[in-house]
Amino acid sequence: MNVSLNELQLFIKHASDMLRRQVEPNDLKSLIDMMTFLSQVRSRQEYTDDMAQPIIDTIELLKSYAYEVPQSIYAMLDELPEQWIIIKKLAMKMKQHIAPLQANQVANIRNQIGDMEKKQQELREKFLRDAPFNYDTKESYQKLDHWASQLRTFDQEVQQLTNLANIFDINIPEYKT
């Protein structure tokens, strides 16, 4: 019980620090950090909202066995629920604050997906046109290495874009290289 309350106290302190940060319109890293943090708050919410009553029941049980509960536990039980409510309100305000930033980022990611589709098509056409498929091709292994390198680079770009799209819950088409 003491561990749960101490852990909640640490989370509330971290949350109040995180929720005081400003998320700038063009700062993707801080936006993603804030979205991740708000997700953590959301995932803890049900557990934390229902946390006090089991602890109170445990204290009552311990009292029935003449165990003296430290006064610090009572102090935490008084303070932490109020602080948790404040954190939930701050998280809701932050969510509303970053909603337009998320919408802008979603539009940017969708534009990047469109650009990536064009790049894939251009790369495919160039490969079919220039790849060393003829018997008389000179330096065929160097050309194959060049194409392998380009395809690896394209795959890395697609993976980065896919990871970013997953954070913002955007479906991305499957790229075939």
Segment 116-130 mean pLDDT: 91
Average pLDDT estimate for 25-29: 90
| pLDDT at residue 26, rounded to an integer | 86
In 50-139, which ranges are continuous DSSP H helix?
52-64, 71-130
pLDDT at residue 61 in the model: 84
Query: Is the separation of the CB atoms in 87 and 41 below 8 Å?
Result: yes
Find the largest Cα–Cα distance for the chain.
94
Q: What is the tens place of the pLDDT at every residue in 46-103?
A: 888 888 888 888 888 888 888 888 888 888 888 989 999 999 999 999 999 999 999 9
Contact 113, 42 (CB under 8 A): no
DSSP state of 172: -
Q: What is the pLDDT of residue 123?
A: 93
Which is more confident, 134 or 119?
119
Residue 177 clears pLDDT 60, i.e. is over it: no
Cα–Cα distance list, 112 to 28, 101, 116, 169 (Å):
14, 16, 6, 15
Cα distance between residue 26 and residue 29, in whole Å: 9
> What is the per-residue pLDDT for 175?
65
What does the mean pLDDT of the chain come to?
89
pLDDT at 133: 78
pTM equals 0.73
pLDDT of residue 76: 87
**Position 133: which residue type?**
F
The pLDDT value recorded for residue 162 is 92
Question: Which pLDDT tens digit goes with each residue over 28-54?
Answer: 999 999 999 999 999 999 888 888 888
Looking at residue 137, its pLDDT comes to 79
Q: Which two tokens stand for residue 172?
A: 């991305």
Locate 159 and state its tokens: 């993976």
The pLDDT assigned to 118 comes to: 95
| CA gap 2, 55 in Å, rounded | 9
User: Tokens at residue 63, please?
Assistant: 């009292």
Residue 112 has pLDDT above 70, yes or no: yes
Q: Are 43 and 91 in contact (CB under 8 A)?
A: no
Residue 167: both structure tokens together: 């954070």
Pick the closest to residue 32 from 111, 98, 113, 89 (CA basis): 98
Q: Tell me 70's DSSP state.
A: P
